Structure 1
């Protein structure tokens, strides 16, 4: 991450965590201004920002990953800070996959998808 949209701007942060979600808040040519889950903002090359949707658990306690939206059967649990891939969202629920362990979680417990956002 850099302080401005160009290689001549100093680096401000080095991300090493795979699939960490970021929110694109601005664009300039091949650069994207992004915000991370901690609120840090800066500029990254477009090529370094993946199209793959990911999210991080922000709830203060482990969340239940259910077999279907609003289902009663708990398939897995995900601890605060766990990062996973999001493939669909609707009705306040998102399909959340953590290294092959997938289930539906309440959208409000994730950072990386907006509450009410619908994904195919």
Structure 2
């Protein structure tokens, strides 16, 4: 009887592994996930509408506030939805639940890295530098091709290498 139980356990483990593989393949074939509340893709980028927003441990006012985002226009990535709440992460992967009214669909991006990067007049490495952007600068995101994104920050407009920004999906193209 003991061998039969062990054999059944092995069979069940194999079946669950195959089911997991099947579900993963179905998820990949179906494309990106869709938010149950908004019918918008998950994950997706948004920005912080308010100058302050509580970040909660769960999707309700009764959940503890873990911290407060204090930077208007900060790009965030929505990774889940529940009612009027959106689970977001920042560029460091930290996050929690924020009420949807604290978020905007306006697209922004933040300059990453440890050094200044040039804002160029055209999407070319040898184009004129119109400004130097410090790490942490947030700008309005315009069109993006596979290598460059148009950014408006501090009264300047120009093009930045896509790899220097956080707030745009890897394969995302913006017109």
TM-score with structure 1 length normalisation? 0.93
Corresponding residue for 1:34? 88
Please tell me whether Structure 1 or Structure 2 has the larger radius of gyration of its CA atoms. Answer: 2
Q: What SS class does the counterpart of residue 22 from structure 1 fall into?
A: strand
Answering whether residue 140 of structure 2 is matched by residue 85 of structure 1, we say: yes
1:61 aligns with 2:98: no
- State how far apart, in whole Å, the 1-side matches of 2:146 and 2:93 are: 26
Matches within 5 A, 1:18-29: 18-29=72-83
TM-score relative to the length of structure 2: 0.65
Which 4+ residue blocks in structure 1 deviate beyond 3 angstroms?
none
Cα offset, 1:31, TM superposition? 0.7
Structure with larger RCO (C-alpha < 8 A, sep 6+): 1
Q: Secondary structure in 1 aligned to 2:171?
A: coil
Question: How far is 1:77 from its partner?
Answer: 1.0
**How is 1:1-120 mapped onto 2 (pairs within 5 angstroms)?**
1-70=55-124, 72-120=127-175
Give the alignment's Cα RMSD to 1 decimal: 1.2
Q: Return the alpha-carbon distance in structure 1 between the equivalents of residues 102 and 142 of structure 2.
A: 20
User: How many equivalent pairs are there?
Assistant: 120
Structure 2 stretches lacking a partner, 5+ long: 1-54
Residue matched to 2:8? none
CA deviations on 1:39-66 (whole Å, 9 max, x unpaired) are 2120001111111111111122111111
Work out whether residues 64 and 77 of structure 1, in 8 Å CA contact, stay in contact via their aligned partners in 2: yes
Measure the CA separation in 2 of the matches of 1:3 and 1:93: 36
Partner-residue secondary structure (3-state), 1:87:
strand
Structure number with the higher helix fraction is 2
